[in-house]
């Protein structure tokens, strides 16, 4: 079992959106996926309630049960476990990071988001787990995302995922009906971004990648994402 934790002490940065889109991508690959919703708001669990397809599995749990549920997930043969954490919950975030093989820190390229990341970065220094910032809500034009990536890497010493998620209506619209962008617009720009993010995550986790996916994550994925127009 491989475990991905979505962590950021600031709210409204896209943790749940990233978690659900990655989960659906892994599930479409044929992997048994479980999302643990650790946020009292239970947004991931509510998304699952609205979903016609009951896969991927989403379970809302109390943070105190995390270690036990992670153990149970491994015992039943879960392939990918995704931990969607709450903001302003340092102890839960730290425990999730300790359970993870890969930590993703979603953030938007705004000065307020970048300043707020310092608490999360300090927390991640307490664990020896590969961690990356992932920029989302990226505007189609301008250099703000490039500047944000440079600040994160040079100022916070946190690597940045080469795949960026654009500021796209598809990401928010799909969640209303319990779907993801790649399901409502399979050939859309958001779907292509998620494909690249999925493949990149597979590489980081040394997890088999689907042979039918032809989009490479190595060809300036973040640059092309920044140039795409909002859909």
Identify the three-state secondary structure at position 147: helix
- Note the pLDDT tens digit of each residue in 211-229: 654 433 333 344 344 434 3
The third-level CATH classification (topology) of the domain covering 2-227 is: Rossmann fold (3.40.50)
Q: If pLDDT is split at 50, 70 and 90, which confidence band does 80 have? A: very high
b or e along 74-100 (b: 16 or more beta carbons within 10 Å of the residue's beta carbon)?
Answer: eeeebbbbbbbbbbebeebbbbbbbbb
Supply the DSSP symbol for 64: G
Model pLDDT for residues 34-70, shown as the tens digit of each residue: 999 999 999 999 999 999 999 999 999 999 999 999 9
Model pLDDT, residue 52: 95
pTM: 0.89
> What pLDDT sits at residue 142?
86
């Amino acid at each position: 079992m491989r475990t991905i934790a979505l962590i950021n002490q600031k709210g409204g940065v896209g943790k749940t959106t990233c978690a659900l889109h990655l989960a659906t991508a892994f599930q479409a690959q044929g992997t048994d996926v479980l999302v643990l919703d650790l946020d009292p708001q239970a947004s991931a669990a509510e998304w699952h309630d609205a979903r016609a397809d009951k896969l991927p599995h989403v379970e809302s749990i109390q943070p105190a049960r995390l270690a036990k549920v992670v153990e149970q997930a491994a015992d039943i043969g879960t392939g990918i476990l995704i931990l969607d954490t709450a903001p302003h919950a340092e102890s839960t975030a730290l425990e999730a990071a300790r359970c993870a093989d890969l930590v993703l820190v979603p953030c938007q390229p705004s000065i307020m988001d970048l300043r707020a990341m310092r608490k999360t970065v300090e927390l991640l220094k307490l664990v020896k787990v590969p961690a990356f910032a992932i920029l989302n809500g990226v505007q189609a034009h301008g250099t703000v995302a490039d500047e944000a990536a440079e600040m994160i890497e040079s100022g916070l010493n946190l690597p940045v995922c080469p795949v960026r998620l654009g500021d796209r209506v598809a990401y928010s619209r799909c969640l209303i009906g319990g779907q993801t962008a790649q399901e409502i617009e399979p050939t859309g720009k958001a779907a292509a971004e998620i494909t690249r993010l999925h493949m990149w995550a597979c590489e980081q986790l040394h997890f088999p990648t689907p042979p039918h996916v032809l989009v490479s994550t190595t060809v300036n994925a973040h640059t092309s994402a920044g140039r795409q127009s909002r859909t």
